[in-house]
Structure 1
């Protein structure tokens, strides 16, 4: 089994992609991958061929309130696309869809397998002065 992950950060307050946001993927205390979002707010892919298991996806958005946004993910098999929508004082995330070609293990092109559903827990750290 193999896992891959991409992400996308949107600045919903300004109505545009959030470029230059640092994103890091951890397994335990070990950093597995790190990159900054491009001009379209994307990192594609952030990680490929990683082992299934628990991971932390940590974003450092440009926000006066959020110092970082951390997601705890249970990644199984397949590709995961995890967008972050952020504004100065709010954020949300979801499991996004990802365009892909059909494969023998997938009955519908572009659709994730039913076994590939992550559980997510979120928390953020407030910036202190």
Structure 2
């Protein structure tokens, strides 16, 4: 059965990004619909897949990582508005049976992502 997972790594500290709010949206044209809201755990991962089961269907999705509050909790002074207040990753799921893993590597002024395993 297919599932969607993620994790966050703070590349500035070399540590997992914990307690980061992550929202998943289904994208249909210009319309986005909130499907799930989770927080990363002490290992920078979510405790369960963000999407699985009957809700896991092919289509376009969007993950929103609320990174600015995380960096502020780390004592990092950010200009307002923060350069990376939220990191938005829009991606497609083509198959309903595959595992899609979308990691986020962050620092206060940059990010990177890829399709992981």
Specify the alignment match of 1:41 in structure 2: 44
What residue is the counterpart of 2:74 in the other structure?
none
Give deviations 1:33-75, integer Å, cap 9, x for gaps: 1100000000141111211101111111124331111111110
The structure richer in strand per residue is 1
Q: CA RMSD in A?
A: 1.3
1:66 aligns with 84
8 Å CA contact retained: 1:3, 1:52: no
Aligned: 1:57 with 2:63: yes
User: Could you tell me how far apart the structure 1 residues matched to 2:61 and 2:21 are?
Assistant: 17
1:92 — aligned with what? 112
- Quote how far apart the aligned CAs of 1:3 are: 3.9
What is the TM-score of this pair, normalised by structure 1?
Answer: 0.70
> Is there any run of 5+ residues in structure 2 with no aligned partner, and where?
72-77
**Aligned positions, number:** 96
Higher relative contact order (CA 8 A, sep 6+): 2
**Superposed CA offset, 1:19-42 (max 9, x none):** 011111101321111100000000
Q: Can you give the 5+ residue segments of structure 1 that lack an aligned partner in the other structure?
A: 98-129
